[in-house]
Structures are given as structure tokens and as C-alpha cells.
Amino acid sequence: MDIRPARADELDAVGALIARSFHAEPFMAWVSGGDPERLARFAALAVRHVADDVLVDDALTTAALVVRPGGLDVSPLQQLRMLPALVRSAGLRRLPAVLRALVRLEGAHPETPHATLIALGVEPGEQARGRGSAMLAAVERRAGVPVYLETGSASVRDGCRRRGYALCTVTRDAWRTDYRTVDSSPDEGQVLTPDAAVDTAASFVVERGQAGAKWA
């Protein structure tokens, strides 16, 4: 699968693809209140005003929205410019809750330099065919720094478990991180082997009201 930056005349199609592929994703569904039109507006906002890099395959079945290191540190003026689009996406009544959620997501990011994969969408009819994994690998190669993935999708989290990521479980009372890995062989490594064993190399937790992390 050939992956390249999206052209300017493809951005509307990319936004529509992201909306279709994220219609059941918990966070996006919550932001839009289950309204497909609001979800489409939120996806368009992410494509045109948040992502620094928009990557696609030639068939436009797969797309990734990537924010470069420091790209989420937007100025107050930039925030004001995006406010009307956020109102159209979330609705005026729900906007304060959505803004608080976005601030919490950004606050959870590591302090070290990293890129952020804010969306990885695959056309519903093309899912579970390796397209998402291929796009994720391309994002990692291009980034040059660790990639922070934001998702509420159980299937994406399961895929991350098989690739050697930190799996974070966040509740009101604690933030738990499990570092999941696949053992490497002397050759190409078991990460390329379907259904290879996955181990939890380490786990730690930050409890509500308690400073610092501790081993879980």
C-alpha cells in the first residue's frame, strides 16, 4: 500500500472518510452527540485546522491525521479561530464539557517531544485487512520521534497491544499504564508473526490525589 501526503483537493474526501470510520468511536460519538452531521464537521476541523500532516493511500481508503511535536500548543488567537467550528461540531450547550475533555486529553501527553496521531481512519468495508497497521507503520517511520496515539476504540487498542505500545486505562480514580511487548527473534522478530505471544513488561499506576507513579 503506497502512502503519501494528501493533496489539497482531497481534504474534503479525507474528512468524510474519517467521519465514516469513526462513527462508532466512543469519544468522537460523544463529541458529536451521535449526530452524523456534527461528526462530519468535527472531522473536517481536525483535517483542516488541527493536523499538521494528512497521510493517505492512493485509493483514499485509509487516512492518518498527525500533529507534529509541539503542534497542540496553539495560541489563544488560534483557539478563538477554531471556536465557531467547535460550536458547530459539539453544539453550544455541550461545548464546555467538550472543551474540558480536550484539555484533559492534551494534559495527559508526555512531556518529552512526540508526534500525536489524532486519527487513523479506514473505510469500513476495508477494515481488518491490514491497512490500519500499514498506515501506523508509515506514521512511525515518518515521525522521527515517538508517536502518541489517542483512541477510544477497543479494536485499535487491541492492535496497539500487538505492536508494543503503552496501554493506558484511565478512570476517575487512577491512571494505569501497561507496557505490552512482543519478544523479538534473532531474525525479523515475532511482531511479524500473527498471533505471537504478547507480554506485559511493566505496569504502573497514578492514583487520584497521590503525586507520582508507582509500580502496579
User: What is the rounded CA–CA span in Å between residue 121 and residue 108?
Assistant: 22
| pLDDT tens for each residue of 42-69 | 899 899 988 999 999 999 999 999 999 8
103 and 196 fall within a common domain: no
Alpha-carbon distance of 215 to 170, in angstroms, equals 16
Look at the chain and report how many structural domains it folds into: 2
34 and 134 assigned to the same domain: yes
By residue range, what is the domain housing residue 113? 3-161
Distance (Å, whole) CA 81 – CA 67: 18
Q: Are residues 95 and 156 in the same domain?
A: yes
The 3-state secondary structure of 30-71 reads HHHCCCHHHHHHHHHHHHHHHCCEEEEECCCCEEEEEECCCC
Q: How high does pLDDT run on average in the chain? A: 82
Q: Are residues 22 and 86 in the same domain?
A: yes
Q: What is the mean pLDDT of residues 6-23?
A: 94
Q: Are residues 105 and 126 in the same domain?
A: yes
Tens-digit pLDDT profile for residues 161-214? 555 677 888 888 999 988 777 654 444 445 556 666 777 877 889 999 888 888
Domain's final residue, options 145, 161, 177? 161
Backbone angles phi, psi at 185, to 5 degrees: -95, 170
Nearest alpha carbon to residue 1 among 136, 195, 142: 136
Tell whether 149 and 215 lie within a shared domain.
no
Query: Do 114 and 212 belong together in one domain?
Result: no
Clarify whether residues 143 and 203 are in a common domain: no
Q: Are residues 108 and 202 in the same domain?
A: no
Instruction: Provide the β-strand partners of residue 116.
Output: 67, 148
Q: Are 18 and 74 in contact (CB under 8 A)?
A: no
Query: Are residues 55 and 127 located together in one domain of the fold?
Result: yes
As a whole-number percent, the residues of the chain with pLDDT over 90 amount to 22
Q: Which pLDDT belongs to residue 76?
A: 65
- Mean of pLDDT values over 119-128: 88
Same domain? For 25 and 125 the reply is yes
Residue 140 DSSP SS3: helix
Domain boundary among 161, 177, 197: 161
